[in-house]
Amino acid sequence: MMDAVKDVVEQTQYLTFALAGEEYAISILKVKEIIEYDAALTKVPNMPPSVRGVINLRGSVVPVVDLALKFGLPERPVTKRTCVVIVEAGVGGDHTVMGVVTDAVSEVMGLSPRDIEAPPPFGTPVRGDYLKGLGKIGKKFVLILDIDRVLSAEDLPEAASSGDGERGDEAPTPESGRSQGSGTTPSF
């Protein structure tokens, strides 16, 4: 009886979602909300292919990253179940709000520490450093992502990044080293 109570107390809640036939999970503490995928993303030039663009979320610019492309998988078709999970990730020492595209959101579930195993060094569809572990759910596993490692500063348009000491709304100057022809991302 005490073990069951201890497991419930020590459980961490995870949001699970499907991507390319695999089940993934993110700590619910990192999830801000889930929104319907809207193809009306604003494309941002000079971003990695995995960055689909940015959305306006209640007045804030939020970059949207396609996890399939980030993981080196083929681009996934957008369906009525495709969602954008809005997360708060630690990127470059800052807490940054970003969206990640998933095929479908599954459920919120609790996992105790004894249900989580270390990630294997091989055989997963994503880089090992992107994983916190493998969650055991009955006879299957869910890949638990370290969203802070999955998302990086290269996924941020300049306007959403504040870690470089420059503001994205300033005009480029010769002193700042940014000019229109330098290949940098334009400010919003």
Domains of the chain with CATH codes: 2-159 (2.40.50.180)
Let me know if 79 is exposed, middle or buried by CB neighbors in 10 A (0-12, 13-18, 19+): exposed
pLDDT of residue 167: 34
pLDDT of 169 over the 80 cut: no
Judge contact between 112 and 11, C-beta under 8 A. yes
Phi-psi region of 144 (alpha: psi -120 to 50; beta: other; left: phi over 0): beta
List pLDDT tens digits, range 11-40: 899 999 999 999 999 999 999 999 999 877
Under the banding of pLDDT at 50, 70 and 90, the label for residue 121 is: confident
160 to 21, 57, 168, 181: CA distances (angstroms): 31, 12, 8, 21
pLDDT of 180 over the 50 cut: no
Let me know if 123 is exposed, middle or buried by CB neighbors in 10 A (0-12, 13-18, 19+): exposed
CB atoms within 10 A of CB 56: 12
pTM (2 d.p.): 0.76
List pLDDT tens digits, range 53-80: 999 999 999 999 999 999 999 999 999 9
pLDDT of residue 186: 36
List pLDDT tens digits, range 125-154: 788 889 999 999 888 999 999 999 999 867
pLDDT of 182 over the 70 cut: no
pLDDT of 188 over the 70 cut: no
Judge contact between 93 and 163, C-beta under 8 A. yes
**CA angle at 103 for the pair 32 and 31, rounded to the nearest 5°:** 10
Judge contact between 38 and 155, C-beta under 8 A. no
pLDDT of 163 over the 70 cut: no
